[in-house]
Amino acid sequence: QVQLQESGPGLVKPSGTLSLTCEVSGSSLEKTNWWSWLRQSPGKGLEWIGEVYHTGSTLYNQSLKSRLTIFVDKSKNQFSLKLASVTAADTAVYYCASREQLLPNWFDPWSPGTLVTVSS
Protein backbone atom coordinates (compact mmCIF):
# COMPACT_ATOMS: atom_id res chain seq x y z
CA GLN A 1 0.00 0.00 0.00
CA VAL A 2 1.51 3.28 -1.12
CA GLN A 3 1.84 5.95 1.54
CA LEU A 4 2.98 9.54 1.12
CA GLN A 5 4.28 11.90 3.79
CA GLU A 6 5.30 15.48 3.17
CA SER A 7 7.85 17.40 5.23
CA GLY A 8 9.30 20.88 5.30
CA PRO A 9 9.18 24.26 7.08
CA GLY A 10 5.78 25.48 8.18
CA LEU A 11 6.77 29.13 7.96
CA VAL A 12 8.43 30.91 5.03
CA LYS A 13 9.28 34.60 4.76
CA PRO A 14 7.85 36.69 1.92
CA SER A 15 10.10 36.66 -1.17
CA GLY A 16 11.71 33.45 0.09
CA THR A 17 11.56 29.94 -1.35
CA LEU A 18 9.05 27.35 -0.16
CA SER A 19 10.60 23.87 -0.11
CA LEU A 20 8.75 20.64 0.59
CA THR A 21 9.66 16.97 0.23
CA CYS A 22 7.34 13.99 -0.13
CA GLU A 23 8.58 10.60 1.02
CA VAL A 24 7.11 7.61 -0.82
CA SER A 25 6.75 4.29 1.02
CA GLY A 26 5.27 1.01 -0.13
CA SER A 27 6.20 1.65 -3.76
CA SER A 28 9.10 2.60 -5.95
CA LEU A 29 9.25 6.08 -7.39
CA GLU A 30 10.09 4.36 -10.69
CA LYS A 31 6.62 2.94 -11.26
CA THR A 32 4.60 4.45 -14.10
CA ASN A 33 3.10 7.24 -12.03
CA TRP A 34 3.06 10.98 -11.93
CA TRP A 35 4.14 12.25 -8.51
CA SER A 36 2.11 15.36 -7.82
CA TRP A 37 1.81 18.44 -5.63
CA LEU A 38 -1.49 20.16 -4.86
CA ARG A 39 -2.51 22.89 -2.46
CA GLN A 40 -5.53 24.40 -0.77
CA SER A 41 -5.58 27.99 0.46
CA PRO A 42 -7.48 28.55 3.73
CA GLY A 43 -11.19 28.18 3.10
CA LYS A 44 -10.65 27.67 -0.64
CA GLY A 45 -10.75 24.87 -3.17
CA LEU A 46 -8.08 22.51 -4.46
CA GLU A 47 -5.36 23.65 -6.86
CA TRP A 48 -3.06 21.37 -8.82
CA ILE A 49 0.50 22.72 -8.66
CA GLY A 50 2.41 20.28 -10.85
CA GLU A 51 4.01 16.87 -11.03
CA VAL A 52 7.07 14.87 -11.96
CA TYR A 53 7.71 11.49 -13.57
CA HIS A 54 10.61 9.31 -12.46
CA THR A 55 12.51 10.26 -15.63
CA GLY A 56 12.45 13.87 -14.50
CA SER A 57 9.76 15.00 -16.93
CA THR A 58 7.46 17.60 -15.41
CA LEU A 59 4.03 19.14 -15.87
CA TYR A 60 3.39 22.51 -14.24
CA ASN A 61 0.39 24.73 -13.57
CA GLN A 62 0.90 27.60 -15.99
CA SER A 63 0.07 30.19 -13.33
CA LEU A 64 2.99 28.98 -11.14
CA LYS A 65 5.42 27.78 -13.79
CA SER A 66 7.84 30.73 -13.62
CA ARG A 67 8.44 30.14 -9.89
CA LEU A 68 8.18 26.36 -9.69
CA THR A 69 10.60 23.45 -9.67
CA ILE A 70 9.59 19.84 -9.00
CA PHE A 71 12.16 17.06 -9.05
CA VAL A 72 12.76 13.48 -7.92
CA ASP A 73 15.46 11.89 -5.79
CA LYS A 74 15.31 8.21 -6.69
CA SER A 75 18.05 7.28 -4.21
CA LYS A 76 15.80 8.43 -1.36
CA ASN A 77 12.50 7.46 -3.01
CA GLN A 78 11.17 10.98 -2.62
CA PHE A 79 10.18 13.97 -4.70
CA SER A 80 10.34 17.65 -3.90
CA LEU A 81 8.78 21.03 -4.58
CA LYS A 82 10.44 24.43 -4.65
CA LEU A 83 8.36 27.56 -5.10
CA ALA A 84 10.31 30.79 -5.33
CA SER A 85 9.39 34.42 -4.56
CA VAL A 86 6.49 33.48 -2.31
CA THR A 87 3.84 35.89 -1.08
CA ALA A 88 0.95 35.61 1.37
CA ALA A 89 -1.12 34.20 -1.50
CA ASP A 90 1.02 31.05 -1.34
CA THR A 91 -0.13 30.32 2.22
CA ALA A 92 -1.92 26.99 1.96
CA VAL A 93 -2.11 23.38 3.00
CA TYR A 94 0.17 21.50 0.62
CA TYR A 95 -0.49 17.89 -0.35
CA CYS A 96 1.52 15.37 -2.31
CA ALA A 97 -0.33 12.68 -4.24
CA SER A 98 0.09 10.23 -7.08
CA ARG A 99 -1.74 9.32 -10.28
CA GLU A 100 -0.97 6.78 -12.97
CA GLN A 101 0.68 8.01 -16.13
CA LEU A 102 -1.87 6.55 -18.54
CA LEU A 103 -5.57 7.32 -18.74
CA PRO A 104 -7.80 6.77 -16.98
CA ASN A 105 -6.14 8.15 -13.86
CA TRP A 106 -6.96 9.86 -10.58
CA PHE A 107 -5.20 11.08 -7.44
CA ASP A 108 -4.83 8.25 -4.97
CA PRO A 109 -3.23 8.16 -2.44
CA TRP A 110 -2.82 11.61 -0.88
CA SER A 111 -0.52 12.71 1.93
CA PRO A 112 -2.11 14.08 5.12
CA GLY A 113 -1.22 17.67 4.16
CA THR A 114 1.02 20.29 5.73
CA LEU A 115 0.22 23.95 6.36
CA VAL A 116 2.77 26.39 5.03
CA THR A 117 2.35 30.01 6.11
CA VAL A 118 4.09 32.87 4.33
CA SER A 119 4.72 35.61 6.85
CA SER A 120 7.52 37.78 8.17
Partner 1 sequence: DIQLTQSPSSLSASVGDRVTITCRASRDIDIYLNWYRQRPGKAPNLLINTASNLQSGVPSRFSGSGSGTDFTLTISGLQPEDFATYYCQQSFNSLITFGGGTQVEV
- Point out which span in 7-15, 68-76, 77-85, 97-105 binds partner 1 (CB under 8 A): 97-105
Q: By CB under 8 A, tell whether 45 contacts partner 1.
A: yes
Q: By CB under 8 A, tell whether 112 contacts partner 1.
A: yes
**Contact (CB, 8 A) for 98 and 109:** yes
According to DSSP, residue 88 is labeled G
**How far is the CA of 14 from the CAs of 20, 53, 85, 93, in angstroms?**
16, 30, 7, 17
Q: By CB under 8 A, tell whether 46 contacts partner 1.
A: yes
Residues at the interface with partner 1 (CB under 8 A): 36, 45-48, 59, 61-62, 95, 99, 103-108, 110-113
